[in-house]
Amino acid sequence: MAGLTGSRRRGGGAGWLAAAPLLVVTLIAFGIPTVVLGVGAFSVKGGGFGFDNLSATMQEPYIGALWSSVKLSAVVAILGAVLGAFLAQAVLTSRSGLLREAVLTASGVLANFGGVPLAFIWIATLGNSGVVTAALGLGSGVLYNFWGLALVYLYFSIPLMVLVIAPALDGLKPQWREAALNNGASTWQFWRHVGIPVLGPALLGGGVLLFGGAFAAYATAAAMVGASVPLVTLQIADALTGNVLIGYENIALALSVDMIVIALLVMAVYLPLQKRSSRWLA
């Protein structure tokens, strides 16, 4: 018994040693910034620690930006999840293997599209002097608002959802549907009682991912809307660079803490559901 314990201890030690490089990278890339962020967020003017910065982020204009970011992310997450799931289902159930391959490959590319190039594409298409704007005579301001930004975010969010939900849709056994039909269920009843509950956690997981992507996006919004749509990432950038006022760096860090808290809340809902779903689709 003692030998076995000793062997386990040695095995455990070797395991930790193998994981050491990853742990060191994690510590440097995530640990140090988190500590710096925490210390800065809770540092108050004149020295010492307190909640002044966090309290400030709960006031205008920051609370408005935070709320606007949450709304935008929620809209992108919901629309992206629904449209992406429908698109994935349509592609996976089509008889064309070529279509499936084409859509999944295109999704892989588009899901990683972002930043200034993405903003430029949309400005050139639907901006005030965009090709489509001019051709259809849509006038100015089509793109530079909340819904314009949502549209641009959906451009990469829907393909991302297709990639995330496709394996879960593949995991739905055709026999479940046939068994439901055999028991007298309509197609809608199958989805209501079996399909959607089984896919629910995966759909929610995809939604969380889209929410996170939209919540953290900065460059596209900065290039497109600037300050016309208040977003927390733009507020953080302004505060860090002293774009409007100087000496607000710790407010930026406090806003980042707000973002982490929101992300953790979303994850707290998602993780238990995901755990249950993985058992069903195994």
Partner 1 sequence: MTVELRELRRSFGGTVALDGLSLTIEQGELIAFLGPSGCGKTTALRCVAGFERPDTGAVFIDGADVTRVPANRRDAGMVFQSYSLFPNLNVRDNVAFGLRVRRRPTSERHSRAAELLELVGLGGFGERYPHQLSGGQQQRVALARALALQPKVLLLDEPLSALDAKVRVNLREEIRRLQLELGITTIFVTHDQEEALSVADRVAVLKSGRLEQVAPPAEVYDRPATPFVAEFVGTMNHLPGRVSGETVEVFGHFLPLDGAAPGEEVDVLVRPEAVRVSPSEEGRGFILASSFRGSIARLRVQLDSGGEVLADVPGHEAVRLAPGLKVDVTLVERPVLTAPRTAVAAPVEPVA
Based on the shown chain and the rule CB under 8 A, indicate whether residue 96 belongs to the binding site for partner 1.
no
Residue from 45, 71, 173, 275 touching partner 1 (CB under 8 A): that is 173
Q: How far is CA 1 from CA 8, 10, 11, 204, in A?
A: 11, 14, 15, 46
Q: Does 226 bind partner 1 (CB under 8 A)?
A: no
| CB 202 to partner 1: min, Å | 12
* Four-residue CA torsion sign, 176, 179, 183, 189: positive
Nearer CB in complex with partner 1: 19/179: 179
Q: Cβ closer to partner 1: 83 or 194?
A: 194
Residues 240 and 74: beta-carbon distance below 8 Å: no
User: What's the first-to-final CA gap in the chain, in angstroms?
Assistant: 35
194 binds partner 1 (CB under 8 A): yes
Q: How far is the CB of 266 from partner 1 (least distance, A)?
A: 23
CB of 82 to partner 1, least distance (A): 20
Q: Exposed (0-12), middle (13-18) or buried (19+): which is 85, by Cβ within 10 Å?
A: buried
Range list of H helices, 111-231: 115-126, 131-136, 146-171, 174-182, 187-190, 196-216, 219-224
Cα–Cα dist 169/272, whole Å? 20
* 49 beta partners: 43
Quote the tokens at residue 167.
């394996």
CB of 77 to partner 1, least distance (A): 23
Q: Closest separation between CB of residue 94 and partner 1, Å? A: 17
Looking at beta carbons only, is 218 or 280 nearer to partner 1? 280
Contacting range for partner 1; rule: CB under 8 A; set: 74-82, 211-219, 238-246, 273-281 = 273-281
Asked if 169 interacts with partner 1 (CB under 8 A), we say no
Q: Which among 40, 81, 30 has a CA at the least distance from the CA of 199?
A: 81
Residue 183 within binding range of partner 1, rule CB under 8 A: yes
DSSP for residue 272: H
Task: By CB under 8 A, tell whether 278 contacts partner 1.
Answer: no
Task: Please report whether residue 273 would count as binding partner 1 according to CB under 8 A.
Answer: no
Q: Residue 43 pairs with which residues in a beta bridge?
A: 49
**Residue 2 sits in the site that holds partner 1 (CB under 8 A):** no
Task: Specify the stretch interacting with partner 1 by CB under 8 A; choose among 72-80, 110-118, 172-180, 204-212.
Answer: 172-180
Q: At what angle do helices 62-92 and 249-280 cross, to 10 degrees?
A: 30
Interacting residue with partner 1 among 135, 182, 247, 264 (CB under 8 A): 182
Angle ∠(269,272,274) on CA atoms, nearest 5: 100
Taking CB under 8 A as the rule, does residue 263 contact partner 1?
no
Q: Which is nearer to partner 1, 86 or 280 (CB)?
A: 280
Site for partner 1 (CB under 8 A): how many residues? 21
Q: Does 137 bind partner 1 (CB under 8 A)?
A: no
Where do contacts with partner 1 occur on this chain (CB under 8 A)?
173, 175-176, 178-186, 189, 193-194, 197-198, 279-282
